[in-house]
Amino acid sequence: MAWNTLTTADITAEILPDEVNALNTVQGSAAILTALLSTVTAEVQAQILVGGNQIGPAGTVPDQIRSDAIALVRWKWFCSLPKTDLQSDFRQAQYEEAIKRMKEIREGREKVEIPAQTQGVSGPSFRMEAVRRGHRLGTHSFDKLGET
């Protein structure tokens, strides 16, 4: 598997041709999709990074979660338009499953594939700091811990 760019064609390929035609009649629909695609892709990469994973070039997602990213974009796109029959229970369930999977990745419980080219940014560090009564403790206070 690899990291690949997610495009508007990938999103529309997951929708029936009649639905694409209906969406094309809505003024500004394509611009909304382009903006949402950029935003959701950045959000997906941020969640991957927070989970302790490396991220690929901007605008790419791992193939491992490609269908989840598409479900996120598609649902947000449909919800940004006037009420249509495109906002089905099935598509909402796909969106909610994608949200759950992204949460697993964000919390570090699911790892994603390492990209061939990384952005060279690091996620948050998971170090702990001991605090006592609002004051930071130096590590020297633990030097004799356990001695009798």
Residue bearing tokens 């997906």 = 44
Q: 42-61 in b/e burial notation, b at 16+ Cβ within 10 A?
A: eebbebbbebbbbbbeeebb
pTM, entire model: 0.78
Task: Give the per-residue pLDDT at 20.
Answer: 87
For residue 68, is it left (φ>0), alpha (ψ between -120 and 50) or beta? alpha
Task: Give the per-residue pLDDT at 67.
Answer: 96
User: Quick check: is 129 in a domain?
Assistant: no
pLDDT 10s digits, 10-65 = 999 999 888 888 888 888 888 999 999 999 999 999 999 999 898 999 999 999 99
**In Å, how far are 32, 88, 91 from 63, measured between CA atoms?**
24, 25, 20
Return the higher-pLDDT residue of 64 and 83. 64
Q: Evaluate if residue 93 carries a pLDDT over 60.
A: yes
User: Quick check: is 116 in a domain?
Assistant: yes
Question: Long-range CB contacts (< 8 A, 24+ apart) of 95-103?
Answer: 95/71, 97/68, 97/71, 98/67, 98/68, 98/69, 98/71, 98/72, 99/72, 101/65, 101/68, 102/44, 102/47, 102/65, 102/68, 102/72
Task: Give the per-residue pLDDT at 118.
Answer: 79
- Secondary structure (DSSP) of 97-112: HHHHHHHHHHTTSS--
User: Quick check: is 26 in a domain?
Assistant: yes
User: Quick check: is 70 in a domain?
Assistant: yes
User: Quick check: is 105 in a domain?
Assistant: yes
User: Quick check: is 138 in a domain?
Assistant: no
Question: Which residue segment(s) compose the domain that 9 sits in?
Answer: 3-122
